[in-house]
Structure 1
Amino acid sequence: MYKLAINREQIWNGCILASIAHAVMTAHYPDFSFEQSWDGINYNVQDGAGIRGTITFHDRIIVAAFRKEQSDRLYNSDLTQTAIRSLHKAPPAVHAIAKSETFHCLLDEVDGQTIPLITALFYGVSDDFVSNDSLVDLFEHGAEIIQTQLLGCTDEAIKHWHDYYEMTQEQSDLVLSLFHRKLQNPKSVIRISQEEATSIGLVNAEGIDECRESLEELGIIYPM
């Protein structure tokens, strides 16, 4: 098993920052709304090019699993077990969370059986993150999709999302404002003001609907 240089707070911050940036900018890119979403404690991410993953945030435990269609592990039962082996020595609570939460978006039918079809996996209890793969191998087999999220809310991550979505300064400022409000009151509903909504620059009904839906997954309410 490999110990991974992953920080719990940093990955949480990175996922929140990424999903707020995504939610705000779906106003302009509704066709890409599928790339990031939240389902309760599960952060789901995919790139439309064959990589998808789910990160489950459950109290002190984080479980992250990924599927990369181009990985040589996919559909090879021996190689697929490389990822599953990461759970062999995990505490029972990690097994339970992986089965009940993380694997749900990664199930597929193979030889008549519905199984989690994954190519990379890691988990952490408190700040002790481990995997059967090194970080390099995790990235090779799917975890590269969260490379920016692993940076947390650093200048590099902020610049990445600013450039990725071609944000205006007003949009970038709003994303950071919502991010800090979310961290200060993670379980409270956050309401966007009319002035903030205007700064998003909504352009059509589809964009409005996708933006509102993505924000609501984060407990952020866009004004009617």
Structure 2
Amino acid sequence: MVKNETLEYLLKEDEDGTISPFITTAIWGDNDTITSNDNIVRIVQCGGYLLEKQFMAIEDAIEAWRDYYEMTSEQVELLKSIYDRKIINSHRIITLTKSEIKLIGTESSEGLSESMVSFEEIGVYWDK
């Protein structure tokens, strides 16, 4: 389960070439409270800054992502649509329509391929 659920950027290659999940701090909680054995300084030093946007209120996070990735209005609408569908049922598989795929904003086959891989990591697939 760990290998299937760990995001790619949280994997580390050991000296012997073994790839395994790598994490330096742990947090847990619910919608109202987040807890850790580490203090906030240690969390940030150990990569917690990677989760900054995930800890924001949804509208603030969307605006931060819009600015950071220079997203178009159409891309933001796609983001909101996927978010709304995921929040209703996080385990449901989402399939993007051809018109939604166009909203990604790239005609490059490499860009679409990379997008497909990233989307599949969160259970979002292409309509073929």
TM-score, normalised with respect to structure 1: 0.47
Q: Which residue of 2 aligns with 1:145?
A: 50
Contact 1:108–1:116 (8 Å) recurs in 2: no
Secondary structure of the equivalent of 1:163? Answer: helix
Question: Equivalents in 1 of 2:98, 2:22: separation in Å?
Answer: 44
Question: Equivalents in 1 of 2:13, 2:26: separation in Å?
Answer: 17
- Cα deviation, residue 158, structure 1: 0.8
Question: Equivalents in 2 of 1:170, 1:136: separation in Å?
Answer: 37
Q: Which residue of 2 aligns with 1:42?
A: 6
- Cα deviation, residue 137, structure 1: 2.3
Secondary structure of the equivalent of 1:122? Answer: coil
Coordinate RMSD, CA, aligned:
2.8
Q: Which residue of 2 aligns with 1:161?
A: 65
- Cα deviation, residue 130, structure 1: 2.3
How many percent of aligned residue pairs carry the same amino acid?
Answer: 29
* Structure showing the higher helix proportion among its residues: 2
The match for 1:201 among 105, 112, 118 is: 105
**How has the CA–CA distance of structure 1 residues 177 and 129 changed in structure 2, closer, same or farther, with 3 Å as cutoff?**
same
Q: Which has the larger radius of gyration?
A: 1
Q: Which residue of 2 aligns with 1:92?
A: none
**How has the CA–CA distance of structure 1 residues 211 and 121 changed in structure 2, closer, same or farther, with 3 Å as cutoff?**
same
The match for 2:90 among 163, 171, 186 is: 186
**Structure 1: runs of 5+ lacking an equivalent:** 1-38, 46-52, 54-104
Greater RCO, 1 or 2 (C-alpha within 8 Å, sep 6+): 1
**How has the CA–CA distance of structure 1 residues 199 and 141 changed in structure 2, closer, same or farther, with 3 Å as cutoff?**
closer
Q: Which residue of 2 aligns with 1:108?
A: 14
Give aligned pairs, total.
122
Question: Equivalents in 1 of 2:74, 2:55: separation in Å?
Answer: 25
Contact 2:53–2:61 (8 Å) recurs in 1: yes
1:124 aligns with 2:28: yes
Per-residue displacement from partner, 1:76-103 (whole Å, max 9, x unpaired)? xxxxxxxxxxxxxxxxxxxxxxxxxxxx
**Structure 2: runs of 5+ lacking an equivalent:** none
Per-residue displacement from partner, 1:166-209 (whole Å, max 9, x unpaired)? 11001001001001101112222211112212222222110111
